[in-house]
Amino acid sequence: MMEIEITINGRKRRFDVEPNKLLLNLVRDDLHLTGTKYGCGIGECGACTVHLDGEAVLSCMVLAVDADGRTVDTIEGVADVNNLDPVQEAYIEEGAIQCGFCTPGFVMTTKALLAENPDPSEAEIREYLKGNYCRCTGYVNIVRAVQSAARKLGS
Amino acid sequence: MTINKVNTHIVPIEFEYHAPGSLDEAVGLLERYGEEAQILAGGTDLIPQMKQRKAEPKHVVNIKRIPGLACIEETPDGFRIGALAKLRAVELSPQIKEKIPLLSEAAQSIGSVQIRNLGTIGGNICNASPSADMATPLLVLDATVHIYGRDGAKTCSIAEFFQGGGDINLGRGEFVTGFTVPFPPVGAGSAFEKVGWTTFDIATVNVAAVVTLKGGKIDHCSIALGACSPAPVRGVLAEAALIGKEPSAEALEEAVEFIAACVEPRERWRRAPPEYRRRSSKALAMDALSRAIERARRFP
Amino acid sequence: MFASDMSLPNMLYGRVLKSAHSHARVKAMDVAGAEAMGAVTLTPDEVPDVVYCPRLVSIPEATYRDWRVLTDKPRYVGEPIGAVAAESEEEAQRALEAVEVEYEVLGASFDALDAMRPEAEAIHERIYLEDDLLDVESNVGCALDITEGDPKALEDADVVIERTYRTNRRYHNQLEPKSVLVRPEPDGGVSIWSTTQTIHNTRLLIHDIYGIPVGKIRVYKVALGGSFGSSIHVNPVVNIAVGLALKSGRPVKMSYTREEDIRDHCSYQMIFKLKLGANRDGKLAGGRLEAYLDIGAHQIQAYPLLGCVVGWWVSLYKLPYVEYTGKAVYTNKVPSCAFRGYGNPQITWVVETMMDELAGELGVDPLDFRLNNYIGEGDLFWGQGPSVKSIIRSCGVEEILTKGAEMVDWYNRPKAGAQTGRFRRGWGVGRGYHTSSAGAPVPSSIVDFGGAMLKMNEDGTFDYVSALMDHGCGTQDAHVKIVAEELCVPVEKVNIIKADTGTTIYDVCTHASRGVYSGGGAALKVAGKVKTQIREFAGRILDAYPHAVRIRYDEEGDRTVVYAEGIEGREVTYREVAETARHKNWGTVSALESYRQPSCPPHFTGYFIEVEVDTWTGKVKPLRVVAGADIGTVINPLLAAGQVHGGMAQGWSMSLLEDTPYDPETGDLVNGGSIANYKVPTSNDLLDLDDFTVFFADTYEPTGPFGAKGLGEGALNPVAGTVANAIQDALGVRFFELPITPIKVLEALREKEG
């Protein structure tokens, strides 16, 4: 067991973890933050995307001990109590959510994109999102949602 | 019976975890545990391998606590890039984009943003995959690998580093601390090309090329091919065929005819048969050389 | 909340023990090591000796049974032969690894045609149909032959083409791996949260296997992370988890890993021998189809599929003569199940490919050839098989094809076959359809009805309760729109209530693109009844005749008003109606109805696709897509377009990328269970927004709710045929095997051009 400290969604938390514990499972099983999904476990689908020190990463490939002393943000930290985040709003308004299982990962990647590049071209959006896999939408409405979110955040 | 041992929900093996704070401490651990130890850097290869029981280390040595291994520094001879430099950092570094755009281009082709935010250049190289996308740029640029071991720091050329068949030139206790990547010759144009089944895929073939022109003729040419031989290789015959020639379509066509002789794709590689790799490595060589020449032409 | 997100206090984590061999007898299984670690174990002799079929959509006469919860004769690598449960996933994993199994390895077949050879090892010796135990000959699980019309029509045809085709075997790759949480209840029952397209059939199957009274099994609706047909049948993991929960007396959660999921289900690989004839007048003369369906190691819905394959085929184009022989063949591979389109994308690829070839032989434009032969309004149609016939009442085929042709300037497209450069472009056209539900005017071999409950709340809003699952196709959203439209309220006034088998009446399943058409039909029926009651109560309050009162939504006051036209003061809001009904003890305005649709009208689709082929790498790129769909009234344009976008992406992937071949040496998937070796398109591999146009035909389906039909499957069905035709147009090469990978493209070009 190792003691680690992680700031999760703005709150500092301490955990005792085994070194083989994945950040994904710390978030889902210990913190019950189930918005972050297991989709493949090997970095192919992006459903487990969280922000580690502000950068989008795959929590299925990060050991919890490696997040010691760092900041982790999950989909649960995106919206405040009363309002959805503009990115979430845009996904709903543009019909970008079908089954919804990939959506948290997409929203986290989209937030990282727009933080880096507030006015991305379509090609930049498609390139940035290519590590997030969606089987339902064919990505059309997702790309539109990202464009719409960029407009919302820009105005 | 691996089928019941694989579990990608978790890391289904137990290991002792070490996070050395210095190079010497890391060497001590690696020497002590030898084959039982694996280095953890970005984790994008090691963690899936552990889940799939392709790697079952008893000791995991996380080297990310060792200071200074993630540097990207410009020196008079080129860039010093630490083994722990994130692929994303290599991709986005404004200095690299300006001085060695080939590195940035190759880094950008790897995985996804999320993977490049974790994966490191050292990991990409030390995983020893024939398809490693950073290998071909390092080969065409004659990069130097910095290695640390019991006797301190040493170097070896990238060409010597790859030994084929998934082997790399590291002794017991040794590990890679970084690379020196020389600047390409003045006026060089470069290009990286890759084919996979989707744009988020490992390379079925990848190619890097660097070309300079002098008096309308090809003065310097280096080309490297990945995923079509047991280790990434230089296309020396094609290089020789081009140097001193005018960069005409005919010259290029003649040169890429030599590519098939430079590569040795293996029958047992499942993604694509040797014939496909031979043909597409030729196509990609043509693309990379054409683009590199095009870029070299832009040099005043 | 998805099934894989759920947890309960005191819960155990379950893991499945999977067969390491493609065909074997388990001679011994030693679980002592696992039990010594404190794990609960489950072996084949501890589950009920019941042979079942996991899909309960067809009537028993059409349902072959060959499954057990855990088998001691595994027939594919990955088949569950045991299970463990422990306090954590890690402990369960360790216990799993401690189980020792001794196998006697048997011969195996990995190809349908090989499996039919006399020397092939029998995969099943006997299977059940109702109470009969049937002998399995040549590994053929079931068969269907149909002949209609005069064979002379085909014999005398001016042009005849005969070809053999082979489809790929695709993995659904739905985002959420199959998962279940089971809680044993003190009354001997169980509560279940699982990945399913049907809560009621899940309950029925658990009842059949474990003998628990139906009313003591509660299956709850939870969100489903994609499915595409892979949970029409009850997923095997559900049945196993129930066994573990009953044995341990504790809640058990089982979530498949991706590598388990890819060894759990896949589409049907099909081998077709198709012969089609046509005459110089541009009309089809008839056809003969031999279909060999590789069903894997067990039957999920092979027999109904044999009927659908012929149904899909004969309902595309008018064929004066039809001869069909279909065989469903066992192989030692993962059991195949429905995958969006249920055989339709496969047969449509074949037919649309051959329609182009025939048009070429006849010297007519492939688009005109289609317009000259399609089955449309007024024609008899039996897409869902020979027992599900009805007459088409709405058809937008002509509109889709002519409008699409205009949009892409079809008749002026560059002539094919002349290109010699590295990058070559081509256009393809293809069309298709799918049924909306499996309804029919008479009973058929398919169960197809649903039900819904609607009640008016005391504030004038409504609660809608239905067992129909929504797995991301916008089904529930469409139901709400239908109810809201009928009752003149904004959609926010209709609540979707979380439901389970105990609080809903039976609905068969969300499949066959029936969610909007059939489920929406039930929604409209209860909304109509509720509206009648509202009129009744309002009439009493207003002292007006119920049939004469009118209803309107007052936007300013955000209320719905019932009024007697032209008579001042005679109006009452929904809220007042509900309150008055309560105060005067009239009761709750509510309705509960079962509903079966009298037909299963086809929704039609058509695609125009332009591709560019890199003849040096074999890679194919989409350049432009125009897709038209006739879905009757479009209830939600955004989500409907989303179905087409998703259909295009899956169809593109089917055409070029996806396959799950086996390695006969290991008996396992060549990809080793890793989706790193099972690529599907990313956002970066498809079309730019400006290059993808979706339009809807202006039609009205008289039997559908507000004129609506389904869409989910028709959106996919024509894509592979269209892409194949575009590649042929670009290269002058026709492919008879899917997927058309870069490797195959280069091989074919080398053969053609050296």
Does residue B185 form part of some domain? no
Under CATH, what is the fold of the domain A2-77? Answer: Ubiquitin-like (UB roll) (3.10.20)
For the purposes of burial, counting CB atoms within 10 Å of the CB of C536, is it exposed (0-12), middle (13-18) or buried (19 or more)? middle
C-beta atoms of C747 and B8 within 8 A: no
Q: Which residue of B has its CA nearest to A38?
A: B9
Does residue C503 form part of some domain? yes
Structure tokens, B212: 């300079």
As a whole number, mean pLDDT of residues B179-203 equals: 97
Residue to mutate among A44, A94, A140, A142, with most C CBs inside 10 A, is A140
DSSP E strand stretches across C436-509 = 450-456, 462-466, 494-496
B17 touches chain A (CB under 8 A): yes
3-state SS of A51-96 is EECCEEEEHHHCEHHHHCCCEEECHHHCCCCCCCCHHHHHHHHCCC
Residue entry with tokens 């889902």:
A28
Domain boundary among C595, C614, C647: C595
Enumerate the residues of chain B whose CB falls inside 8 A of the CB of residue C78.
3
Separation of alpha carbons C727 and C92, rounded Å: 50
Q: Are residues B61 and B80 in the same domain?
A: no
Does residue C623 form part of some domain? yes
| Distance in Å, alpha carbon of B108 to nearest chain C alpha carbon | 14
Q: Are residues C481 and C514 in the same domain?
A: yes
Closest CA to B174 of B189, B154, B158, B192: B154
Domain boundary among B135, B161, B180: B180
C-beta atoms of B8 and C101 within 8 A: no
Q: Are residues B194 and B261 in the same domain?
A: yes
- What SS3 state is found at B271? coil
Give the single-character DSSP code of C13. E
Q: Which residue of A has its CA nearest to C261?
A: A40
**Number of inter-chain CB pairs under 8 A, A vs C:** 140
As a whole number, mean pLDDT of residues C262-271 equals: 98
Under CATH, what is the fold of the domain A86-154? Answer: DNA polymerase; domain 1 (1.10.150)
Q: Tell me the percentage of chain B whose pLDDT exceeds 90.
A: 91
Q: Are residues C739 and C640 in the same domain?
A: yes
The CATH number assigned to the domain holding B291 equals 3.30.390.50
Q: Are residues C583 and C457 in the same domain?
A: yes
- Helix, strand and coil content of chain C, in percent to the nearest 5, comes to 30, 30, 40
Q: Are residues C509 and C649 in the same domain?
A: no
Q: Are residues C560 and C613 in the same domain?
A: no
Q: Are residues C543 and C638 in the same domain?
A: no
Domain ranges of chain A: 2-77, 86-154
A22 touches chain B (CB under 8 A): yes
Give the single-character DSSP code of C473. S
Yes or no: say if C546 and C539 are a contact pair by the CB < 8 Å rule.
yes
User: Residue C88 above 70 pLDDT?
Assistant: yes
Number of structural domains chain B divides into: 3
Chains that touch B (3 or more CB pairs under 8 A): A, C
The CATH number assigned to the domain holding B57 equals 3.30.43.10
Q: Are residues B292 and B202 in the same domain?
A: yes
C144-188 tens-digit pLDDT:
999 999 999 999 999 999 999 999 999 999 999 999 999 999 999
| Distance in Å, alpha carbon of B215 to nearest chain A alpha carbon | 38
Respond yes or no on whether the N-terminal peptide bond of residue C739 is cis (omega within 30° of 0).
yes
As a whole number, mean pLDDT of residues A58-72 equals: 98
Residue of A38, A98, A131 lying closest to C642 (CB–CB): A98
Yes or no: say if C116 and C290 are a contact pair by the CB < 8 Å rule.
no
C-beta atoms of A25 and B10 within 8 A: yes
Domain boundary among C529, C561, C595: C595
User: Residue C473 above 80 pLDDT?
Assistant: no
Per-residue model confidence (pLDDT) at position B1: 55
Q: Tell me the percentage of chain B whose pLDDT exceeds 70.
A: 100
Q: Which residue of A has its CA nearest to B199?
A: A130
Report B:113-172 residues touching A (Cβ under 8 A). Answer: 113-115, 117-118
Yes or no: say if C4 and C177 are a contact pair by the CB < 8 Å rule.
yes
Please spell the DSSP secondary structure of A13-54, one letter per residue. EEEEE-TT-BHHHIIIIIS--TTS--S-SSSSS-TTEEEETT
C-beta atoms of A20 and B113 within 8 A: no
Separation of alpha carbons C161 and C556, rounded Å: 66
A76 touches chain C (CB under 8 A): no
A32 touches chain C (CB under 8 A): yes
For the complex shown, is ipTM > 0.95?
yes
Q: Are residues B53 and B84 in the same domain?
A: no
| Distance in Å, alpha carbon of B115 to nearest chain A alpha carbon | 6
Q: Are residues C578 and C466 in the same domain?
A: yes
C591-608 tens-digit pLDDT:
999 999 998 999 999 999
Yes or no: say if A113 and A129 are a contact pair by the CB < 8 Å rule.
yes
Q: Are residues C747 and C679 in the same domain?
A: yes
Per-residue model confidence (pLDDT) at position A92: 95
Report the DSSP pairing between strands C12-18 and C252-255.
parallel
Residue to mutate among C254, C685, C743, C745, with most B CBs inside 10 A, is C743
| Average pLDDT over all residues of chain C | 96
Confidence of residue A85 (pLDDT cuts 50, 70, 90): very high
Per-residue model confidence (pLDDT) at position B216: 93
Does residue C351 form part of some domain? no
Separation of alpha carbons B240 and B221, rounded Å: 8
B112 touches chain A (CB under 8 A): yes
A63 touches chain B (CB under 8 A): yes
Does residue C333 form part of some domain? no
Separation of alpha carbons B78 and B72, rounded Å: 10
Cβ within 8 Å of residue B293, ≥6 positions away: B189, B211, B213, B218, B247, B252
Per-residue model confidence (pLDDT) at position B262: 87
Q: Is the pTM of this model over 0.95?
A: yes
C538-580 tens-digit pLDDT:
999 999 999 999 999 999 999 999 999 888 878 999 999 999 9
Yes or no: say if C453 and C591 are a contact pair by the CB < 8 Å rule.
yes
C-beta atoms of A41 and C5 within 8 A: no
Separation of alpha carbons C284 and C372, rounded Å: 9
Separation of alpha carbons C32 and C421, rounded Å: 67
Q: Are residues C414 and C497 in the same domain?
A: no
As a whole number, mean pLDDT of residues B260-265 equals: 89
C-beta atoms of C686 and A139 within 8 A: yes
Report C:613-672 residues touching B (Cβ under 8 A). Answer: 614, 616-619, 657, 668, 670
Residue to mutate among A21, A61, A116, with most B CBs inside 10 A, is A61
B47 touches chain A (CB under 8 A): yes
Enumerate the residues of chain C whose CB falls inside 8 A of the CB of residue B280.
616-618, 742, 746
Yes or no: say if A14 and A5 are a contact pair by the CB < 8 Å rule.
yes
Which value, in Å, is the radius of gyration of the alpha carbons in chain A? 15
The CATH number assigned to the domain holding C400 equals 3.30.365.10
User: Residue C417 above 80 pLDDT?
Assistant: no
Query: Could you list the residue range(s) of the whole structural domain that residue C714 is in?
Result: 365-379+393-436+601-753
Phi, psi values for residue C608, rounded to 5°: -120, 120
Q: Are residues C621 and C748 in the same domain?
A: yes
Enumerate the residues of chain A whose CB falls inside 8 A of the CB of residue C515.
none
Does residue C385 form part of some domain? no
Query: Could you list the residue range(s) of the whole structural domain that residue B20 is in?
Result: 2-65
Structure tokens, B141: 């640029």
Yes or no: say if C630 and C653 are a contact pair by the CB < 8 Å rule.
no
As a whole number, mean pLDDT of residues B145-161 equals: 96
C-beta atoms of A32 and C648 within 8 A: no
Number of structural domains chain C divides into: 2
Does residue C291 form part of some domain? no
Q: Are residues C605 and C735 in the same domain?
A: yes
Structure tokens, A121: 């071209």
C-beta atoms of A133 and C680 within 8 A: yes
Phi, psi values for residue C149, rounded to 5°: 90, -175
Q: Are residues B85 and B174 in the same domain?
A: yes
Q: Are residues B111 and B204 in the same domain?
A: no
Buried b or exposed e, range C701-731, using 16+ CB within 10 angstroms? bebbbbbbbbbbbbbbbbbbbbbbbbbbbbb
Separation of alpha carbons A84 and A98, rounded Å: 18
For the purposes of burial, counting CB atoms within 10 Å of the CB of C412, is it exposed (0-12), middle (13-18) or buried (19 or more)? exposed
Q: Are residues C676 and C585 in the same domain?
A: no
Chains that touch C (3 or more CB pairs under 8 A): A, B
Give the single-character DSSP code of C664. T
Q: Which residue of A has its CA nearest to B65?
A: A66
Instruction: Specify the DSSP element, H or E, that contains C303.
Output: helix C302-314
Q: Which residue of B has its CA nearest to A126?
A: B199
B237 touches chain A (CB under 8 A): no
Domain boundary among C560, C595, C630: C595
Domain boundary among B65, B87, B117: B65
Per-residue model confidence (pLDDT) at position C513: 81
Does residue C161 form part of some domain? no
3-state SS of C319-379 is CCCEEEEEEEEECCCCCECCCCCCCHHHHHHHHHHHHHHHHHHHCCCHHHHHHCCECCCCC
The CATH number assigned to the domain holding B130 equals 3.30.465.10
